[in-house]
Structure 1
Amino acid sequence: MTIQTLNLTPPLYEYLLSVSLKEASILKEIREKSSTHPLGKMQIAPEQAQFISLLIKLLGVKKILEIGVFLGYSSTAMALALPEDGQLIACENNPEFAEIARQHWQKASLEDKIILRLDSALDTLEALKEEGYNEEFDLIFIDADKSNYYNYYEKSLDLLRKGGLMIIDNVLWHGRVANPEINDNRTKRMREFNRRLFEDERIELSLLPIGDGLTLVRKI
């Protein structure tokens, strides 16, 4: 087996962004603001947001479910990529994060496209099922607490339409999943999550080394 690796040193990463990233001014503003937040590293990378936005347009996505909003960068990027009649339901359990995200949505004139569900994501997913959202979503994006990733995945799969796309962030977990000497609870859970998805015959998948790792899941 020939293994090819690309070391994204800071100069190479900056070059990549210089010839690829076309970021709307509102997104740049949110990203720069988020970088000063104590938990700013939780924000997805701009190249990830642009990639997901491109998929939304390519696939003609109209209905999105986001699990984990943080300060609203990813939801803003996805909502901007939606058509005029598109809708995004955003799940967040932190009122402080939700309020900051809401301000960003308002500034981007996206209030009509984004519906906030302020509750635990597991409770929201159950509520959506009870409200008749089964197989309603074209795309589901998961980027929340890692300990519940598999629970989010299982409950979300019922809400995703056949042929729909689920995108899951942080699946490489800063490289820890590949280091056998690292065995903290969250790392072990992420390893188990990746393995269970790989063995799941209900889906097709591809894990991409973009940002901290994105898994793309197509529901069969």
Structure 2
Amino acid sequence: MADLIFWKSANSCVKLLGVMEQSGKKNPSKGLLQSEELFQYILETSVYPREPEPLKELREITATHPKAVMATSPDAGQLMDMLLKLINAKKTIEIGVFTGYSLLLTALSIPDDGKITAIDVDRQAYEMGLPVIRKAGVEHKINFIESLALPVLDKLLEDHENEGIFDFAFVDADKANYKNYHERLMKLLKMGGIVVYDNTLRGGTVAMPEELVAENLRENRRLTIELNKCLAADPRVQICLAPLGDGITICRRVC
């Protein structure tokens, strides 16, 4: 029986690897659903019809980028938009901007006097989406900082008036620092504030035996597993790991 269970588990992982390879070629949004047709149904039925025109335009521009797979998945973005509006977010942080899909989404969601501190080391990718952001009339809400994120967060925390003033944060950056970002964001977010971490299922590799994972993916897999354990054990947050895009973990600060 134990052998049968192991075979089924390994067989499921092999099938998932095949799905990942197939969807990686056809679907840059990295949906984890076993059926690509079902994922497309979700997008075409409830996501794309509600997607604002500027977001659609930026998504199509991003698709021409050689690293388009890094963009926020539209289905995850739809949930983020709802979260931003549910908590009436006004002051937000974004760590990892890329071409700006999630940044534009946030700028469209928050009020006209809202502010986003957006941090990324790659200004060139951000400028790819900047014309769309400007055309949408929301550039004034964005303070883009070309920098590593930790120095910026530490600089914010030097001023104690910044503690507990942010409503929302989105993190889609280097996985090695996710836990470091989390510690700082717990000080910057207000009580009831939300932080969303992207890529917390790592294409399904977090549930695979290590030997079935390509060597170049193992380190990020390990870091993600550590992060997921850390978040699950953190009494300061209420969490939900949602299988949208490449996996997003929503953390609501409760203490």
Q: How far is the alpha carbon of 1:95 from its aligned partner? A: 2.3
Larger deviation: 128-137 or 59-68? 128-137
Residues 69-78 or 182-191, more deviating: 182-191
> CA shift at 1:8, angstroms?
4.4
**Deviation of residue 106 (structure 1)?**
1.1
Q: CA–CA distance in 2 between the matches of 1:101 and 1:127?
A: 27
When structure 1 is superposed on structure 2, of 51-60 and 92-101 the one drifting more is 92-101
**RMSD across aligned positions (CA):** 1.5
Structure 1 runs of 4+ with >6 Å offset: none
- Aligned with 2:140: secondary structure? coil
Q: 97, 104, 120: which is aligned to 1:92?
A: 120
Bigger radius of gyration: 2
Once the two structures are superposed, what CA deviation does each residue of 1:12-69 show, in whole Å capped at 9, x if it has no partner? 1221122211111111111111111111000011111111011111111111110000
Structure 2: state its 5+ residue gaps: 1-31
CA distance in 2 between counterparts of 1:174 and 1:154 reads 25
Judging changes above 3 Å, is the alpha-carbon distance between structure 1 residues 179 and 99 closer, same or farther for their aligned structure 2 residues?
A: same
Structure-1 residue corresponding to 2:175: 146
2:59 to 31, 35, 38: 31
Cα displacement string for residues 171-191 of structure 1 (whole angstroms, at most 9, x for unaligned residues): 000011111223721111110
Is 1:102 the counterpart of 2:130? The answer is yes
Amino acid at match of 2:248: L
Residue 16 of structure 2 aligns with which residue? Answer: none
- Structure 1 runs not aligned, ≥5 long: 1-5
**Where do residues 68-83 of structure 1 align in structure 2 (5 Å cutoff)?**
68-83=96-111
Aligned equivalents of 1:17 and 1:208: distance in 2?
A: 16
1:179 matched to 2:208? The reply is yes
SS across alignment from 1:164: strand
Residue 35 of structure 2 corresponds to residue 9 of structure 1: yes
Counterpart of 2:147 in structure 1: which amino acid?
A: D
* 1:113 to 2:141 alignment: yes
Which whole-Å CA distance do the structure 2 matches of 1:169 and 1:147 have between them? 13
In structure 1, the residue matched to 2:77 is 49
The answer as to whether partners of 2:33 and 2:39 remain within 8 angstroms in 1 is no
Per-residue deviation at 1:10? 2.2
Query: Match of 1:140, SS?
Result: strand
Would the aligned equivalents of 1:57 and 1:81 in 2 still touch at CA under 8 Å?
Answer: yes
Q: Judge which range, 94-103 or 167-176, deviates more.
A: 94-103
Aligned to 1:219: 253
Q: Provide the C-alpha distance between the structure 1 equivalents of 2:244 and 2:98, rounded to a whole number of angstroms.
A: 20
Q: Secondary structure at the match of 1:112?
A: helix
Displacement of 1:104 = 3.0
Flag the structure with higher helix content: 2
Of all paired residues, the percent bearing the same amino acid is: 39
Contact 2:164/2:190 (8 A) holds in 1: yes
Which residue of structure 2 aligns with residue 3 of structure 1?
none
Counterpart of 1:136 (choices 155, 161, 165) is 165
The range that moved more, 69-78 or 8-17, is 8-17
The Cα shift of 1:101 comes to 3.7
CA distance in 2, matches of 1:50, 1:205: 18
